[in-house]
Chain A
Amino acid sequence: MVLIAGMRKFYLLFFLGVFSLPLFSFAVSTGSADTTAHGETAEEEFNAGVMIIDHIVDSYEWHIATLGHTHVSIPLPVILIDGGKLHLFSSSKFHHGHDAYKGFKIETAKGGNKGKIVKVVPGTMTTDSQAGMPVDLSITKNVVGVFVSFIVLLLVFFSVARSYKRTAGHAPKGLQSLLEPLILFVRDEIAKPSIGKHYERFMPFLLTIFFFIFFTNLIGLIPLFPGGANVTGNIAVTMVLALFTFFMTSFSANKSYWLHIFNTPGVPWWLKFPIPLFPIIEITGAVVKPFVLMIRLFANITAGHIIVLGFISLIFVFAKISPALGYGVSVVSVFFAIFISLLELLVAFIQAYVFTLLSALYFGMATEEHAHADGHH
């Protein structure tokens, strides 16, 4: 019964999330349309591309809704280190990017730094192209998203660990029975077949990375405040995850792994000397592996968000032609947005699985023991 109730709550949460996603985006999109209407630059009518990118990239404030002409958003702290000095202030000082503060502003011009904090020529709003970039350690929307996942994971898994201690030797209960299949899945379907006998060493890492990605993906699908940040669809986040895998692989690698990289057995010597062709290929391989991990997760999650936002944008694109057409299209758009959101639930799991599985495979390669070193290639 507890399990069923738990599952029901879980599904309810999902459905709430899925159904309110298009509604929420609707509100937000109307908001951006309104903003542009009262904004000083009339050229920004409704640009689907800009709207979508604004929703999936990081931001210094957490935009919740726009009611009429007021932006409802949570300002987040800005932390900058510039020339050895620490600047700490609220992002509300930038007035949604319209103002500069303490000689800093959010870059609005197109280019590599768009959306980042840059220095301005004192007293103006023009970017100081001579000055370097400040070290930006701000608590942005995605950082808050990471913290949310962090807290959720801690709460959930401390509770689960406590259940394991309490019901030692008995059948799992409640949240524990919901997560146990996943824990066993990571252990029996990912770690054991990919790594082999050393699998236990990597279990904490694999479980943490699996549940971090899975939970963060799911939270990213909930469009209400603590969720909805495109955390796993941010390249910095996936880069850190991939780097963890890379360092874990490198530090746990045994002698034969390094031997395979620098002096691959079973390869003619002239491929390694004087031009170290093979070592170069092998090192590239070792670097490409985490790089691919990074890109795959980032691209998949971002793509899901873009498609959902794209369907919602269709309503406004058509509404510009004729309001009736907009209402007509909205039925189809909302249906497709829901469909994609459901698909994203699947993707949330699959991407967590793939990332964990590939990490496990790399660990497996790094700790594999070659009984006969040259029979491998």
Chain B
Amino acid sequence: MELVNPGIGLIFWMALSFGLLLFILGKFVWPPIMRALHEREKNIELALHEAEKAREEMKLLMFTNEQMMLEAKNERDKLIGEARKIRESLIEEARLKAGEEASRMIENARERIHFEKMAAITELKNQIANLSIEIAEKVIRRELSEPSRQEEIVRESLSDINLN
């Protein structure tokens, strides 16, 4: 059999074998392989897609978390600021009130002192008057016997009173 002279037998057997091979592989081998490959690729793609989605969601979640934390911090700062302000105003108010109270009490005390003083003075005056009357009585009783002495006593009493 020369090089370029095809033998009919070989053509026949080759066509038969290859046709059969094509049929068997095409029916039982390639379809499951192609399907498996396709399915695996689809799964991988799906998994990648899902991972991407999860990452995106994670990012969003983290962003929201951060936002929330920021808001919470702001809120806290605001609350603390307000509390401080309230505290300061309370202290101020308390101080003002205390001052007022104190001055009021002082005023009261002063009035009372004044009143007491007045009462004391009045009582003293009454006592003095009484004493004066007593003295006068005594003087009158004793000195009335002796007119010069009477006079002296009156004068002395008067000077005493004046001292007061």
A13–B17 Cα gap in the complex (Å)? Answer: 25
A29 at the B interface (CB under 8 A): no
A212:B21 contact, CB within 8 angstroms: yes
B39 at the A interface (CB under 8 A): yes
B3:A137 contact, CB within 8 angstroms: no
A83 at the B interface (CB under 8 A): no
Q: Which residues of B contact A114 (CB under 8 A)?
A: 1-2
Size bin of chain B's contact surface: 35 or more
| Other-chain contact of B9, A137, A207, A241, A302 (Cβ < 8 Å) | A137
| Other-chain contact of A135, B8, B20, B21, B25 (Cβ < 8 Å) | B8
Closest chain-A Cβ to B125's Cβ sits at a distance in Å of 122
A203:B8 contact, CB within 8 angstroms: no
Q: Count chain B CB atoms within 10 A of each CB in A153, A164, A302 and give the residue with the most.
A: A164
A4 at the B interface (CB under 8 A): no
B36:A168 contact, CB within 8 angstroms: yes
Q: Count chain B CB atoms within 10 A of each CB in A184, A237, A243 and give the residue with the most.
A: A237
A53–B1 Cα gap in the complex (Å)? Answer: 10
Interface code B1-24, partner A: CB below 8 Å = 1, 0 otherwise? 111111111111111011111101
Closest chain-A Cβ to B122's Cβ sits at a distance in Å of 117
Known contacts A150-B20, A161-B32, A168-B36; A236 and B10 CB within 8 A of each other: yes
Residues 80 to 94 of chain B near chain A (Cβ within 8 Å): none
Q: Which residues of B contact A153 (CB under 8 A)?
A: 21, 25
A158–B24 Cα gap in the complex (Å)? Answer: 10
| Other-chain contact of A58, B1, B26, B37, B40 (Cβ < 8 Å) | B1
| Other-chain contact of A115, B1, B17, B31 (Cβ < 8 Å) | B1
Chain-B contact segment, one of A62-70, A138-146, A264-272: A138-146
Q: Which residues of A contact B (CB under 8 A)?
A: 53, 56-59, 79, 112-116, 135-140, 142-143, 146-147, 150, 153-154, 157-158, 160-161, 164-165, 168-169, 180, 183-184, 187, 200, 203-205, 207-208, 212, 234-237, 239-241, 243-244, 302
Q: Which residues of B contact A (CB under 8 A)?
A: 1-15, 17-22, 24-26, 28-34, 36-37, 39-40, 43
